[in-house]
Amino acid sequence: MTAVAESIHTLADLSAWTFPGVALAVVGHPIAHSLSPVIHNAALAELARTEPRYRDWRYFKFDIAPGDLPAALAAFHRLNFRGLNLTVPHKSLVVEHLTKSDPFVRAAGAANTLTYFEDGWHGANTDGYGLTTSLQQELGAALAGSSVILLGAGGAARGAAVECLRARCASLWIGNRTAASLATLLTELQPIAGSTDLHGFDLANPPAGLPAGAIVINATSLGLAVTDPAPIDLKRIPKPGRVLDMIYRPPQTALLRQAAELGLPHANGLAMLVHQGARSLELWSGATAPVAVMQAAALAALNPPAA
Residue 1, judged by CB atoms within 10 A of its CB (0-12, 13-18, 19+), counts as exposed
The β-bridge relationship of strands 100-101 and 83-86 is unpaired
Report which residue type is found at 152. Answer: G
Cis peptide before 89 (omega within 30 of 0): yes
| Residue 142, Ramachandran bin (φ over 0: left; ψ between -120 and 50: alpha; else beta) | beta
Q: For residue 172, which of 219, 130, 137, 140 has the smallest C-alpha distance? A: 219
The answer to whether residue 91 is catalytic is yes
CA–CA distances in Å: residue 156 to residues 118, 130, 242? 28, 11, 19
Report which residue type is found at 1. Answer: M
Length of the chain counted residue by residue: 307
Residues 158 and 105: their CA atoms lie apart, in Å, by 9
Catalytic residue, chosen from 91, 100, 235, 239, is 91
What order of strands is seen across the sheet that includes strand 8-9?
A: 8-9, 57-63, 22-28, 83-86, 113-117, 120-124, 100-101
Active site residues: 91
